[in-house]
């Protein structure tokens, strides 16, 4: 078994799934946390955050691999996203580069980074990728760009999928749009395959989805939900102009009352983008042992819990 694996974002939706899989596979995991956590097997909690250089040095010390999953998806300003998603990544890279020998580095980015002009979030994730490419030097690095990730514990897609059980599927905009999905278990499996592969074999930036050719559209999701729930499910198109106006109000209120909004004008631009379809082919060449196994029809029931 190789040396310790450093993990950021271990208390979030994706990070928790990764921590479970890593610990179950016998890896010794060092996991960054901002708050005290109960002990768990094969895990050492490191108190701190991405602004804490001391904590980051302790997190990566003697680690053979770093999996950077931490980040924010909510924010009221460009600066908020940049500080955590871009500058926080730079801080972690600096800590990694101080190690001898150098660890390998995996950045869990987002498919949104493919279109950085859409939102502050997308811009910050692309910025993190650029920082990694520019600073890594001889450190082996990989970027995963998963599409929308769902599964047990998800707080973003699950509320939408839960509505299908009531017979409706709200979507923003009337223009046809296609998108891919990936179950969190398949993303975690890809990370395990990356750890097992040669450090240089999977260098580069890779998209990940569940392998559904051409992805999904609102009608495909509605049909699948109707089959699973055995009742009609109706797609409902919410006017983009109305949702954009609500998002603008929400952003203004968030600055007034100091909370981090999810629905912002940038998020609406992401939601109405016409093409979020992935291509797994390059990653499957780099990691031939990885194969997505979960489709929406298989996991809808558990994804809404």
What CATH number should be reported for the domain holding residue 10? 3.40.50.720
Residue 30 lies in a domain: yes
Percentage of the chain surpassing pLDDT 90? 91
Between the CA of residue 277 and those of 43, 97, 145, what are the distances in Å? 35, 34, 12
Percentage of the chain surpassing pLDDT 70? 99
Question: Contact 210/181 with Cβ under 8 angstroms?
Answer: yes
| pLDDT (mean) for 171-181 | 90
Residue 271 lies in a domain: no
| pLDDT (mean) for 126-150 | 97
pTM beyond cutoff 0.75: yes
Q: Is the pLDDT of residue 3 over 90?
A: no
State how far the Cα of 89 lies from the Cα of 200, in Å rounded to an integer.
Answer: 21
| pLDDT (mean) for 157-176 | 91
Residue 235 lies in a domain: no
> What's the gap between Cα 22 and its chain centre?
17
| pLDDT (mean) for 33-54 | 94
| pLDDT (mean) for 284-291 | 95
Provide the pLDDT for residue 1: 54
Domain hosting residue 24, numbered range: 5-150+181-209+279-292
Provide the pLDDT for residue 297: 93
Residue 12 lies in a domain: yes
Provide the pLDDT for residue 127: 98
Provide the pLDDT for residue 145: 98
State how far the Cα of 157 lies from the Cα of 2, in Å rounded to an integer.
Answer: 35
Provide the pLDDT for residue 22: 96
Between the CA of residue 199 and those of 75, 117, 299, what are the distances in Å? 34, 32, 32
State how far the Cα of 153 lies from the Cα of 148, in Å rounded to an integer.
Answer: 14
Helix ranges, the chain (H): 13-24, 53-60, 78-81, 88-97, 120-135, 157-164, 184-196, 218-229, 240-257, 265-272, 281-286, 296-303
Q: Among 46-50, 96-100, 300-304, which stretch is predicted with the lowest mean pLDDT?
A: 300-304
Any idea how long the chain is? 305
Q: Structurally, how many domains does the chain consist of?
A: 1
Residue 286 lies in a domain: yes
The DSSP-derived string for 77-138 is SHHHHIIIIIIHHHHHHHHHHTSSSPPEEEEE--GGGG-TTS-HHHHHHHHHHHHHHHH-TT
Query: What's the angle, vertex CA 18, arms to CA 280 and CA 120, rounded to 5?
Result: 65
Q: Is the pLDDT of residue 2 over 70?
A: no
State how far the Cα of 234 lies from the Cα of 290, in Å rounded to an integer.
Answer: 35
Residue 133 lies in a domain: yes
Provide the pLDDT for residue 247: 97
Residue 194 lies in a domain: yes
Between the CA of residue 300 and those of 166, 172, 202, 254, what are the distances in Å? 14, 21, 31, 32
| pLDDT (mean) for 216-230 | 96
- Residue 271 CB partners (closer than 8 Å, separation 6+): 171, 172, 173, 243
Residue 87 lies in a domain: yes
């Amino acid at each position: 078994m190789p040396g310790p694996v450093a993990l950021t974002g271990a208390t979030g939706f994706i990070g928790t799934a990764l921590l479970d899989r890593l610990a179950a596979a016998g890896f010794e995991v060092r996991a960054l946390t901002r708050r005290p956590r109960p002990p768990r097997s094969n895990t050492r909690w490191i108190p701190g955050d991405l602004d804490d250089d001391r904590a980051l040095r302790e997190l990566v010390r003697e680690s053979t691999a770093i999996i950077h999953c931490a980040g924010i998806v909510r924010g009221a300003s460009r600066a908020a996203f940049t500080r955590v998603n871009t500058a926080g990544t730079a801080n972690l890279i600096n800590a990694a580069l101080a190690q001898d020998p150098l660890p390998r580095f995996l950045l869990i980015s987002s498919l949104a980074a493919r279109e950085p002009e859409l939102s502050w979030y997308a811009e910050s994730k692309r910025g993190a990728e650029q920082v990694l490419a520019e600073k890594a030097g001889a450190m082996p690095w990989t970027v995963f760009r998963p599409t929308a990730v769902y599964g047990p514990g998800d707080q973003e897609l699950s509320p939408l999928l839960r509505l299908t059980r009531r017979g409706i599927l709200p979507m923003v905009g009337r223009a046809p749009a296609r998108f891919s999905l990936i179950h969190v278990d398949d993303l975690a499996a890809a990370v395990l395959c990356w750890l097992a592969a040669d450090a240089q074999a999977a260098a580069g930036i890779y998209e990940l989805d569940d392998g559904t050719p051409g992805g999904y559209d609102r009608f495909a999701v509605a049909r699948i939900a109707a089959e699973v729930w055995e009742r009609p499910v109706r797609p409902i198109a919410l006017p983009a102009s109305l949702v954009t106006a609500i998002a603008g109000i929400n952003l203004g209120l968030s600055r007034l009352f100091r909370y981090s909004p999810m629905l912002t004008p940038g998020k609406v631009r992401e939601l109405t983008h016409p093409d979020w379809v992935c291509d797994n082919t390059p990653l499957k060449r780099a990691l031939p042992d990885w194969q997505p196994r979960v489709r929406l029809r298989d996991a809808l029931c558990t994804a809404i819990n």
